[in-house]
Amino acid sequence: MEELGVIGGLGPAATARLMERVVFFTDVARDQDHLDVTVLNRPWIPDRTSYLMRKRGAVSFVDPMRDAALELEACGCTVLCTPCNTAHARLDDIAAPLETARFVHMPRETARLVAELGAKRVAVLGTDGTRAAGVYDEAFAAVGMSAVYPDEERQREVMSTIYDEVKAGRCDGPGHVEALCAAMAWDGCDGIVLGCTELSAVGCAPIVAGAAVVDALDVLAWRCVRECGAPARDLKARFADAACVRQSASDVVG
């Protein structure tokens, strides 16, 4: 199996969650069959949204992430990832100097999975930076789909959940995230992407108000396991009930 390298600390809770999910999705029966993983927990890497939104005094995150990628490559890691959707806006620049290692692209892999699940109208809950940089617009366009985003009021709620709750260590559970997902489902979305790994750290049920909630961090962990050559659990099985709900609704309408 290939070795996995993680540029972590973006944020720390999301990195811990990623490691837990990598272990979960690795379908083995003993410790010795799990992946060899090197994690660089670098919470001091500058805020990605602040830089992408050109806020005063914001510093680029690209150079420190590029240095981390090269450090992981020097350690022998050939499959790399970072649990930050927003950072993928500059992933090509971060990966440019690599010679042997390659990144698993979380938004693109998430969009592919959503397309395979058959969702038609998919909402993305993420940071202002992810949205402004078109990270998921590009990912969904590649599979012939368009992303849907919350209105301004709900987007403020998303940002508050990310920064005022999770990053500040004040989150009490998934209730707020699930309420945001339910609101998007009631607006006609049959799929919802948790497109910020701080939301992933909180967690959410795989089906909310009949819509499949695809956690981008789960997709990243699952794809990393498969990319490294380890046996992986079936992520798609989590959404079988959502497909049944959509089919039942279609039958009723018909």
Contacts for 220 with CB less than 8 Å, ≥ 6 apart? 18, 21, 81, 83, 104, 106, 109, 110
Element (H, E) at 215: strand 211-215
Beta-strand pair 207-208/4-8: unpaired
Would you say 121 and 210 are in contact if contact means Cβ atoms under 8 Å apart?
no
The β-bridge partners of 125 are: 194
Of 216, 204, 235, 192, the residue nearest 84 (C-alpha): 216
Q: End-to-end distance of the chain based on CA atoms, in angstroms?
A: 49
**Cα 51 to Cα 104: distance, rounded to the nearest angstrom:** 23
Q: What distance in Å separates the CA atoms of residue 138 and residue 199, rounded to the nearest whole number?
A: 21
Query: What is the set of active-site residues?
Result: 84, 196
Angle at 181 between CA 175 and CA 236, to 5 degrees: 105
43-75 CB burial, b ≥16 within 10 A, e <16: eebebbbbbbbeeeeeeebbebbbbbbeebbee
